[in-house]
């Protein structure tokens, strides 16, 4: 644990409760007023950024969004850089730094890209009513990026930003990470090593009354099964055995039987191909299979992912899966491999719980009600997971409330832009006070 937090973990809640007795301070009132004053500008900024296609593989579009946000942060005194993603075949990231002299070092995390590439028909926003916007990336997560900017401006105009140490990393490949992952996430990990606290501005489960204190990690896996090709009339004989498809079905069924009851663990076979001949596509996202009904299958390939809430849970599940794979049907063999890199779990820590309590108190003091933790089962992998093991406190879900992420029905509630910005700015102000 970093030295600053040996004190903070124990004393932080008491400090927050002390502040709450007086409700909002003069500085906090100024923060609230500033956000309300400029809210129309933030909504315009959100509309402008949503109108720019920034599908992960549209490098020009991702960079254009990065330039838009860079201008805003430059004006607030941040030192900003749009990094190159050439080494990992992506657009690169926006990194903004502001070095103060007081309080903890805070990392804010967003991302510039969306899942909607230029060929997707979902390219423009529309207002469904006076507050609900339907648009590509409005909730995941351009709304969160705009909230970061709104909070920074509020802290600036309240006269407290100058003393604060803040690094902002908005990645350009959160939705489809570049490879190798250690290069793709280098700026993020470097910032996490520097920071004491990490705040993520994803939209969590879309409910503004919740926040993420724990996220499951994600790791891909591949299963390759071999059998003896022969005439189907000879299946189950000592010489031929069962074939690869039967062996694959046994393995997948045992995965389900032995592990599906494990709390917060999921494992999903995303696709399967099997037959006499199989061939994977170069990108690993599919393939082709050929065979006949009267021929025993020779090869089967399955690809999927596994999600766990802790490294311990992941390792335990991997051992069970490998044990299942090793107990083959007659005349078959199978190899299960896990990717070397994936999204690590953001485990639940005392520090994360402490940060939740401070945020909860901030929300109550601002009149927005209590905040509860999101069930990890409802929170997918996200960039904040790469701060695990580096920072002493981390929460995610400070972004814009919305629904139906990654679909043409994605929406964001514009009424929540000022609410989330106020919560985030006041939280950072309180954290900055020793």
Q: pLDDT tens across 265-283, in order?
A: 999 999 999 999 999 888 7
| Stretch among 21-25, 34-38, 190-194, 225-229 having the lowest mean pLDDT | 21-25
Q: Compare 285 and 17 and report the one with higher pLDDT.
A: 285
Beta-bridged to residue 224, according to DSSP, are: 301, 335
And the tokens for 69? 């946000």
pLDDT band at 315 (very low <50, low <70, confident <90, very high): very high
Mean pLDDT value across the chain: 93
Per-residue pLDDT at 243:
97
Instruction: Please return the burial class of 280, using the count of CB atoms within 10 Å of its CB with bins 0-12, 13-18 and 19+.
Output: middle
Per-residue pLDDT at 204:
80
pLDDT band at 284 (very low <50, low <70, confident <90, very high): confident
Confidence check: pLDDT of 110 > 70: yes
Confidence check: pLDDT of 6 > 50: no
Confidence check: pLDDT of 82 > 90: yes
- Rounded mean pLDDT of 338-346? 91
Residue 138 DSSP one-character state: I
Cα(210)–Cα(201) distance, integer angstroms: 13
Per-residue pLDDT at 119:
95
Residues in Cβ contact with 371 at an 8 Å cutoff, skipping those fewer than 6 apart: 209, 210, 211, 356, 359, 360, 363
Share of the chain above pLDDT 90, in %: 87
Sorted by where each starts, the structural domains of the chain and their CATH numbers stand as: 3-215+346-432 (3.40.630.10), 218-338 (3.30.70.360)
Of 385, 355, 81, 360, nearest to 219 by C-alpha is: 385
Q: In this predicted model, what pLDDT tens digit does every residue of 88-99 receive, in sequence order?
A: 999 999 999 999
| Stretch among 15-29, 101-115, 171-185, 412-426 having the lowest mean pLDDT | 15-29
And the tokens for 248? 């694959």
Distances (CA, A) of 334 to 281, 303, 319, 325, 328: 20, 13, 15, 6, 7
Per-residue pLDDT at 198:
98
Per-residue pLDDT at 21:
38
- Rounded mean pLDDT of 177-206? 95
Per-residue pLDDT at 20:
46
Residue with tokens 């009600």: 369
Q: In this predicted model, what pLDDT tens digit does every residue of 212-259 receive, in sequence order?
A: 999 999 999 999 999 999 999 999 999 999 999 999 999 999 999 999
Per-residue pLDDT at 178:
94
Per-residue pLDDT at 2:
63
Per-residue pLDDT at 282:
81
Residue with tokens 């999101």: 374
| Stretch among 69-73, 150-154, 325-329, 403-407 having the lowest mean pLDDT | 403-407
- Rounded mean pLDDT of 5-31? 60
pLDDT band at 379 (very low <50, low <70, confident <90, very high): confident
Instruction: Compute the CA torsion angle 421, 425, 430, 431 (nearest 10 deg).
Output: 100
Per-residue pLDDT at 5:
52
What is the pTM (predicted TM-score) of this model? 0.86
């Amino acid at each position: 644990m970093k030295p600053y937090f040996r004190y903070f973990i124990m004393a932080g809640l008491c400090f927050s409760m002390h502040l709450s007795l007086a409700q909002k301070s003069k500085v906090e009132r100024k923060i609230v007023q500033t956000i309300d004053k400029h809210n129309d500008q933030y909504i315009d900024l959100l509309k402008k950024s949503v109108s720019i296609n920034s599908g992960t593989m549209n490098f020009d579009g991702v960079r254009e969004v990065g330039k838009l946000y860079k201008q805003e942060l430059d004006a607030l005194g941040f030192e900003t850089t749009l990094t190159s993603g050439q080494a990992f075949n992506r657009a690169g990231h926006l990194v903004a730094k502001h070095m103060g002299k007081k309080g903890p070092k805070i990392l804010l995390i967003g991302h510039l890209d969306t899942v909607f590439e230029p060929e997707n028909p979902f390219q423009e926003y529309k207002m469904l009513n006076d507050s609900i916007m339907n648009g590509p990336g409005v909730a995941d997560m351009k709304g969160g990026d705009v909230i970061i900017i709104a909070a920074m401006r509020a802290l600036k105009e309240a006269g407290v930003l100058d003393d604060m140490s803040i690094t902002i990393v908005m990645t350009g490949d959160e939705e489809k990470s570049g490879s190798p992952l250690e290069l793709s996430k280098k700026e993020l990990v470097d910032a996490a090593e520097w920071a004491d606290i990490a705040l993520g501005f994803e939209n969590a489960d879309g409910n503004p009354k919740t926040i993420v204190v724990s996220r499951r990690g994600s790791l891909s896996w591949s299963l390759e099964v071999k059998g003896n090709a022969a005439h189907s009339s000879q299946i189950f004989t000592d010489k031929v055995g069962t074939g690869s498809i039967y062996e694959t079905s046994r393995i997948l069924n045992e995965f389900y039987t032995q592990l599906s009851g494990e709390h917060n663990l999921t494992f999903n076979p995303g696709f399967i191909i099997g037959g006499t001949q199989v061939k994977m596509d170069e990108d690993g996202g599919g393939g082709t299979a050929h065979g006949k009904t009267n021929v025993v299958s020779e090869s089967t390939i399955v690809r999927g992912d596994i999600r766990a809430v802790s490294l311990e849970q992941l390792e335990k599940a991997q051992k069970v899966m490998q044990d299942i794979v090793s107990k083959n049907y007659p005349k078959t063999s199978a190899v299960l491999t896990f990717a070397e890199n994936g999204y690590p779990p953001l485990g639940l820590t005392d520090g994360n719980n402490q940060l939740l309590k401070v945020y909860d108190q901030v929300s109550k003091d601002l009149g927005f009600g209590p905040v509860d933790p999101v069930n990890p089962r409802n929170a997918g992998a996200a960039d904040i997971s790469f701060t695990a093991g580096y920072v002493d406190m981390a929460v995610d879900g400070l972004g814009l409330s919305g629904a139906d992420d990654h679909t043409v029905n994605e929406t964001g509630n514009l009424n929540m832009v000022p609410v989330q910005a106020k919560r985030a700015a006041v939280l950072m102000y309180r954290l900055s006070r020793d």
